[in-house]
């Protein structure tokens, strides 16, 4: 056991009283605050393919049509989870536009390609508004309010096979590549 002498106690008191006196009085001290506030964007799940199967070329509508023929469409569901309550998002389709109608996606099949065929996209939840490729012309959704069971909700795009011109479509293969761009607002 260590014993304190009078000198040790005096030195200890001087050290403690010196440290304490450094924080007494009316002094202003600056400090900094830092961090990064982020909106927690949604977690999304979406299919990697759209398969039209076999379509009769005689039933294709013009891309300028304002309505869809049900047999030529496939619904593309974008599933959202873990969104903030009022999270807004805009959905756009990006890809190579058809030279005759750049608001549609070109058929890029390289073997036995169908001709005069393109793919258009429609916002099902926006009264069937056409979602023009590469233009950002999409509805703005409150994806936070889409969450029907407070954990998940969907936006439905409808992909449709169309004729970009009045010319007759010729049967063949269909292939295209595109991106879905989700912009959180």
Which whole number is the average pLDDT over 15-44? Answer: 68
Per the listing, tokens 């807004």 go with: 88
Look at residue 98 and tell me if it is in a domain: yes
Domain total for the chain?
Answer: 1
Look at residue 52 and tell me if it is in a domain: yes
What CATH number does residue 130 fall under? Answer: 2.60.40.1090
Which whole number is the average pLDDT over 5-26? Answer: 49
| Residue-level length of the chain | 185
Sequence-distant (≥ 6) Cβ neighbours of residue 45 within 8 angstroms? 78, 79, 81
β-partners of residue 77 are: 156
Residues 88-113: tens digit of each pLDDT: 888 888 999 999 999 899 999 999 99
Q: pTM higher than 0.85 for the full model?
A: no
CA angle 45, 48, 50 (to 5 degrees): 115
Supply φ then ψ for residue 19, to 5 degrees: -65, -40
Look at residue 178 and tell me if it is in a domain: yes
User: How high does pLDDT run on average in the chain?
Assistant: 78
For residue 154, the enclosing domain spans 43-184
Look at residue 18 and tell me if it is in a domain: no
Whether the CA torsion 75, 80, 85, 86 is positive or negative: it is: negative
Look at residue 85 and tell me if it is in a domain: yes
Look at residue 28 and tell me if it is in a domain: no
Q: Which range is least confidently modeled, 15-19, 48-52, 66-70, 144-148?
A: 15-19
Q: How far is 147 from 87, CA to CA, in rounded Å? A: 11
Supply φ then ψ for residue 149, to 5 degrees: -120, 25
Residues 73-91: tens digit of each pLDDT: 888 899 888 887 778 888 8
Which whole number is the average pLDDT over 166-183? Answer: 90
Amino acid 114: pLDDT: 93
Look at residue 175 and tell me if it is in a domain: yes
Strand ordering across the sheet containing 178-184: 140-142, 88-95, 178-184
Supply φ then ψ for residue 140, to 5 degrees: -100, 130
Q: How far is CA 180 from CA 89, 134, 136, in A?
A: 12, 10, 11
Q: How far is 179 from 169, CA to CA, in rounded Å? A: 25
Q: What token pair was written down for 18?
A: 């010196």
Q: How far is 136 from 118, CA to CA, in rounded Å? A: 18
Amino acid 22: pLDDT: 56
Look at residue 10 and tell me if it is in a domain: no
């Amino acid at each position: 056991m260590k014993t304190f002498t009078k000198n040790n106690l005096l030195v200890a008191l001087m050290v403690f009283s010196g440290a304490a006196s450094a924080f007494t009085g009316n002094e202003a001290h600056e400090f900094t605050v830092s961090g990064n506030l982020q909106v927690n964007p949604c977690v999304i799940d979406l299919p990697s393919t759209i398969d039209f199967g076999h379509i009769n070329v005689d039933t294709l509508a013009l891309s300028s049509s304002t309505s869809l023929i049900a047999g030529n469409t496939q619904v593309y569901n974008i599933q959202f989870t873990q969104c903030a309550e009022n999270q807004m998002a805009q959905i756009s389709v990006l890809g190579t536009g058809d030279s005759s109608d750049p608001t549609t996606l070109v058929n890029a099949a390289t073997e036995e390609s169908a001709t005069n065929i393109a793919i258009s996209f429609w916002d099902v939840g926006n009264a069937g508004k056409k979602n023009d490729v590469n233009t950002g012309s999409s509805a703005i959704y409150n994806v936070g309010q889409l969450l029907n069971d407070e954990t998940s909700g969907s936006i439905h795009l409808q992909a449709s096979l169309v004729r970009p011109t009045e010319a007759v479509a010729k049967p063949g293969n269909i292939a295209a590549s595109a991106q879905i761009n989700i912009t959180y607002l």
